[in-house]
Amino acid sequence: MNPLLDNFNTAPFLKISNNHYKPAIKKAIEIAKGEIDAIVKSPETPSFKNTTEALDFTGEKLNRITSIFFNLNSAETNEDIQKIAQEISPWLSEFRNDITLNETLFERVKFVFDAKEKLELTPEQKMLLDKQYKSFSRNGANLNNEDKGILRDIDTKLSKLSLQFGENVLAETNAFELHITNENEVSGIPESAKETAHQLAKEKGKDGWIFTLDYPSYVPFMTYADHRELRKKMSVAFGAKGFQDNKNNNEQIVLDIVKLRHKRANLLGYKTHAHFVLEERMAETPEKVIEFSNNLLKKAKPAALREFKNLENFAKKLDGIDLLQKWDGAYYSEKLKKEIFDLDQELLKPYFKLENVIYGVFEISNRLFDLNFEEIFTIDKYHEDVKTYNVTDSNGKFVSYLYADFHPRSGKRNGAWMTSYKPQQIKNEVNERPHISIVCNFTKPTPTKPSLLTFNEVTTLFHEFGHALHGMLANTTYNSLSGTSVSWDFVELPSQVLENWCYEKEALELFAKHYETGEVIPMKYVEKIKESASFHEGMQTLRQLSFGLLDMKWHSENPSEITSIKEFEIEAFSETNLYPDVAENCMSTSFSHIFQGGYSAGYYSYKWAEVLDADAFEYFLEKGIFDKEVATKFKETVLSKGGTVKPMELYKHFRGKEPKPDALLKRAGLL
């Protein structure tokens, strides 16, 4: 029996083997097609219930199986899984097209859509109908048969290309290691990072230390290693992912992806891919995004240039560096920060034992939103590192399951993300609760030390947990409008707003305790964390804007004339560049957010959401960071509503007004 085809509640990880996926997905596609056929062949006049709602509830089994498969392809992959992903992606792409290009089905959806004014629909039902109609029209339902065929072909190619892009980046990340045997060459690197590197070398049967391009290894090396040539070696390797003359080169893939996206947008009647994407976002148009980005750029650039000049002078004074390079940035920034604020990240780490930070984020969620978390050992997990929790409300009622996967492995992609194994929805009058997962890459415990987080990793954990709250507290009828199913430039609000608690004394006192002595983090450190929060904010803002503007340049212009990715990038970065260019490096060839992860024409949304989050947190600061009234309002207007109401309306319900960038500029010290 195939466990994926059973009626399971929690994912049956321990029963699944790789050979179950293909037959299960094939069968689930058949089942979903049968559900669609039942709607199409219904003799009844199309209605909201028999068409719109019925369609939203189709494909449940397929969605459950593919969510397990693709989540594991990110968090616990291997060659077999990658091969299966390449095979099944075209099937899924074709199936999605079978739905959106099904003329009879679209006629039924359109019939209901055209009659919507006469139907007595709730705001949520109206939103579902509107989104459903658009999901057809925006995916080719109004095209003629020949163009529908072209669209199918484009979508199949795109799904394969983005998978290949991600596999190449992972292969490049795994292929590089810096093996050091000379003690002098690890000078400056903190003991904890050295211990991890030594452990890795030992696992590989080697002496000395091995550093890799995984963030927990790469970041400490670039921040602390005194050996400039080795920093250069690491930095160049990191920036060369997908840009080398080998089988993992992503240059042609990038060009193919942007050209196909442009062709697809044109086919659907849009000027560019960005025009297509942004129609359904808060920002609405590429022009608005570019204007928003340039306004912030104007405010941030003078500060960034001043900060960079200071950093150059500091590096020259300290080590006689004449020309500051990319591999010097983190190293001298950390030293300068230490000099100005007398704050060393390594001094803070003992106060941020992973288990304590987890307790902290749970306790804060309890005080704000009445949630309780209990670790359980009764549900399957896909790796022994994964922790599983039962989440309940103040009445002991089940809210969600939470999976948490914190440490790097060879089969896990870099970075941090939140995802779901089961969406929330209300079906047959039963509120089906969600199963949510967060995945991070924090340093593993060693034989002598627990997992101790940098402050940056603490904010990462809070960030992903903000997304998790958005998923766990979802309370809508339809799963396609539930949880994080909101417009992309709104989805980062819950995650970014939660990061603010990491800087507040009242919150830090709950969990920032020395792992050996239990001493609460000294208040002088808390003050310094707050003071230093806007350190190099101009440069940081410039960096984020540069990624967003690169993304917009790829997607808001006609890419047909682009031949050199490198030259294209140099031009895109011309207004935001501080460091000299590195010939061997290219950002786009490993820019997974936009070529693999769904952020195409959407990277600006991080900065956009920062404006929302600074404005929202100002409301908490006015009333108190644990104020129940504001927290309940945030829960009821933002966290539980998903995509049932337009995001700007939700935000105004919460805040009473539209957001202004002033709070962000003030917080960043850029006013």
Among candidate residues 313, 303, 302, 304, the one with its CA nearest the CA of residue 335:
313
In degrees and rounded to multiples of 5, residue 418 shows phi and psi of -115, 145
Closest CA to 403 of 393, 414, 418: 418
Buried b (16+ CB within 10 A) or exposed e, 401-418: bbbbbbbbeebbbbbbeb
287 noted as active-site residue: no
Write the Ramachandran bin of 216: left for phi over 0, alpha for psi from -120 to 50, otherwise beta: alpha
DSSP, residue by residue, 437-495:
EEE--PPPP-SS---B--HHHHHHHHHHHHHHHHHHT---S-GGGSTT-S-TTTTHHHH
Q: How is the chain split among helix, strand and coil, in percent rounded to 5? A: 60, 5, 35
DSSP for residue 143: S
Residue 281, classed as helix, strand or coil, is: coil
Choose the catalytic residue: 307, 464, 504, 569.
464
Among the listed residues 147, 29, 24, the one whose alpha carbon sits nearest the alpha carbon of residue 98: 29
Calpha distance 566→551 (Å, rounded)? 14
**Which residue's structure tokens are 């049968």?**
34
283 burial level (CB within 10 Å; 0-12, 13-18, 19+): buried
- For the record, the structure tokens of 467 come out as 């997304």
CA angle 179, 219, 69 (to 5 degrees): 90
Q: What's the CA gap between 559 and 543, in Å, rounded?
A: 23
Alpha helices (H) in 41-144, listed in sequence order:
54-56, 60-75, 79-100, 103-114, 123-137
Q: What sign does the CA torsion over 409, 412, 417, 421 have?
A: negative
Nearest CA to 55 among 99, 97, 89, 92?
99
Beta strand 430-432 with 177-180 is unpaired
Largest CA distance in the chain: 82
SS3 at position 561: helix
Q: Going by DSSP bridges, is the β-strand pair 177-180/209-212 parallel, antiparallel, or unpaired?
A: antiparallel
Nearest to 436 by CA among 395, 470, 393: 470
Running DSSP on this structure, what letter comes out for residue 189?
-
Q: 427: which strand partners?
A: 430
The edge-to-edge listing of strands for the beta sheet with 435-439 is 372-375, 387-392, 398-405, 435-439, 417-422
401 three-state secondary structure = strand
CB neighbours of 241 closer than 8 A, spacing ≥ 6? 169, 172, 173, 213, 248, 589, 590
- Which residues are catalytic, by number? 464
